[in-house]
Amino acid sequence: NMDSDTLEAFQSELTCSICMNCFLDPVTIDCGHSFCHPCLSLCWEEGQSPRSCPECRGITESPDFQTQEAGFPESPDFQANIVLKRLASLARQSRADHDHSSEEQICVTHQEAKGLFCEADQTLLCGPCSEHPEYTAHSHRPIHRAAEESREKLLNRMDYLWGMREKVQLILTQEAKKAWSFKKFVALRKEMIKLEYQRMHPVLQGEEQLHLEALEQEANEICHQLKESVFRMSQYRESLKETYGELTELCHKPDMELLQALGNVLEMTDLVEMQKPQSVNPELTCWPVTGILDMLNNFRVDNVLHQKMSFHNVSLSEDNTSLIFGDDDHGVSRKLQGGESFVAWGARAFTSGRHYWEADVTQSFNWILGVCKNILTSDTSISIDSEEAFLLFSMNVNDHYSLFTNTRPSVQYVKRPLGRIGVFLDYDNVAVIFYDVFRSSLIYSFLPSSISSPLKPFL
């Protein structure tokens, strides 16, 4: 046993300079100073850059903590942190043993220290009390061991909450970007609708105006939803931070106080996790354009997709400029789909005129179609350079299937087609347009400044 002065000196060496409590899950940074992992997480969470040591203000080269879980068994920091964690636990136990001499920790019946914790009743027991018939069927553990195990439970829960908070921060950033890109998309879609009606009879001017007004109203509602989503995500992020701070404080509580509060606290964190708000997936209604399919069928060409190959992998580069079907990914990083799939393309390339064809995507959630200049084939793969390609594709992002194009803006905030997709190539007037056949509606219009290459249909 330590006397008070020795105990105080021992504990002062194991005190976090941020919270002034005994180290909790200690981490060591570049300068050699150590802190509670939760304390440093909260301290550095504010986003200061570059990050500096809270004690000496030295700049930290690496944002990563060196902890007992860091995975560096040969590192001196790895060993030091394990020792520091064990010493901190011993310091807490020494303090608890010292406090056991107080009146409330002595059993009034047997005049012995209450050194055992009964999990079933959440109470302290002395040795003789634990052997009483009322308690013999219950599980008992030494108080300090039960408390340290509970601290580990809380630390694991805190790690999970912090990970959730980082994910929410990422979603929050995405929601803010989504709001910006959605507004740009709405402005572009208005222009696409106007151009579409220019192809039609002037008698449809009234329908055009109705579509533009409906688009404006729907877009305003979605913009409001996105704004609300950003607000809810921000609030949830802060609630996770507050909960994390509360759990940190609980971990620093005396053993008995921690043990008695643990059950309620874990229930509370379960509720916090369940309250995560859902992100918004904007989808504009595709209104039907009267007579559009009758007009397009005047330029109908059939059997444009002759050649086929089957593959297991489809990959797309991050900048949407390279598309690989097969196993030769050449550094292409985004997998669009797995399982058996096929690619079909036309042997004939169009160099002039107006041409319309349809493709059925009813049975597929992941698909890519359009027209392209070059299709490079080998025995095991197909590669498309999308520099002179006009492609529409569907893929799963964040558990939601969305439409994309290979040009900016990439995301198409409209409902996915339910069946057949129409592709209209107007070579002479420089346009490639996609239609939802079931809804008789416009999906997207490519309006490049020029087309100079032969273009092949592609699925």
244 touches 165 (CB < 8 A): yes
Q: Taking residues 70-98, report their average pLDDT.
A: 60
Between 335 and 373, the higher pLDDT residue: 373
CATH architecture of 1-99: 2-Layer Sandwich (3.30)
> Residue 394 half-sphere exposure, CB side, CA atoms within 13 Å?
19
Give the tokens for residue 265: 């606290």
Separation CA 85–CA 7 (nearest Å) = 17
The region of weakest confidence among 54-63, 70-79, 222-231, 366-375 is: 70-79
pLDDT band at 76 (very low <50, low <70, confident <90, very high): very low
Residue with tokens 């630390």: 155
60: which DSSP letter? P
pLDDT band at 93 (very low <50, low <70, confident <90, very high): confident
Q: What does the pLDDT read at residue 297? A: 92
As a whole-number percent, the residues of the chain with pLDDT over 90 amount to 19
Separation CA 436–CA 415 (nearest Å) = 9
Neighbouring CB atoms inside 10 A of 90's CB total 15
Separation CA 127–CA 114 (nearest Å) = 7
Q: Taking residues 181-187, report their average pLDDT.
A: 92
Strands (E), 289-386: 307-311, 314-316, 322-326, 334-337, 341-345, 354-360, 367-372, 375-377, 381-385
| pLDDT at residue 90 is higher than 60 | yes
Q: What is the mean pLDDT of the chain?
A: 78
pLDDT band at 71 (very low <50, low <70, confident <90, very high): very low
Residue with tokens 């996915």: 416
| pLDDT at residue 193 is higher than 50 | yes
Which backbone phi and psi does 6 adopt, to 5 degrees? -65, -40
As a whole-number percent, the residues of the chain with pLDDT over 70 amount to 77
107 touches 89 (CB < 8 A): no
User: Which SS3 state, helix, strand or coil, does residue 394 take?
Assistant: strand
> pLDDT by residue (tens digit) across 100-132?
555 457 787 787 877 788 877 777 888 788 777
Q: What does the pLDDT read at residue 77? A: 35
Q: What's the angle, vertex CA 309, arms to CA 306 and CA 312, rounded to 5?
A: 150
pTM higher than the cut 0.95: no
For residue 409, cis peptide bond before it (omega within 30 degrees of 0): yes
Q: What's 191-239 look like in SS3?
A: HHHHHHHHCCCHHHHHHHHHHHHHHHHHHHHHHHHHHHHHHHHHHHHHH
CA dihedral 220, 226, 230, 232 (to 10 degrees): 100
Q: What does the pLDDT read at residue 443? A: 92
Strands 314-316 and 334-337: antiparallel
Q: What's the angle, vertex CA 176, arms to CA 172 and CA 180, rounded to 5?
A: 165
Q: What does the pLDDT read at residue 402? A: 82
Residues contacting residue 12 through CB under 8 Å, at least 6 positions apart: none
The region of weakest confidence among 23-32, 65-74, 82-91, 351-360 is: 65-74
453 touches 350 (CB < 8 A): no
28 touches 54 (CB < 8 A): no
Q: What does the pLDDT read at residue 68? A: 40
Give the tokens for residue 269: 């964190």
Q: Taking residues 447-458, report their average pLDDT.
A: 77
Give the tokens for residue 416: 């996915």
Domain positions in the chain are 1-99, 144-274, 292-458
Separation CA 71–CA 237 (nearest Å) = 29
Question: Alpha carbon 110 to chain centroid distance?
Answer: 57
Picking from 100, 237, 225, the residue whose alpha carbon sits closest to that of residue 161 is: 237
| DSSP H/E element including 11 | helix 4-12
The region of weakest confidence among 121-130, 274-283, 292-301 is: 121-130
Between 240 and 57, the higher pLDDT residue: 240
CATH architecture of 292-458: Sandwich (2.60)
What's the burial of 368, exposed, middle or buried (CB within 10 Å: 0-12/13-18/19+)?
buried
> Residue 76 half-sphere exposure, CB side, CA atoms within 13 Å?
3
| pLDDT at residue 69 is higher than 60 | no
Separation CA 244–CA 238 (nearest Å) = 10
Between 138 and 288, the higher pLDDT residue: 288
60 touches 30 (CB < 8 A): yes
349 touches 360 (CB < 8 A): no
Alpha helices in 45-199 (DSSP H): 76-99, 127-130, 143-198
Q: Taking residues 367-395, report their average pLDDT.
A: 72
Among 6-10, 320-324, 398-402, top mean pLDDT goes to 398-402
> pLDDT by residue (tens digit) across 206-229?
899 999 999 999 999 999 999 999
Q: What does the pLDDT read at residue 99? A: 59
Q: What does the pLDDT read at residue 70? A: 38
Q: What does the pLDDT read at residue 79? A: 35
Between 407 and 417, the higher pLDDT residue: 417
pLDDT band at 376 (very low <50, low <70, confident <90, very high): low
The region of weakest confidence among 82-86, 402-406, 420-424 is: 82-86
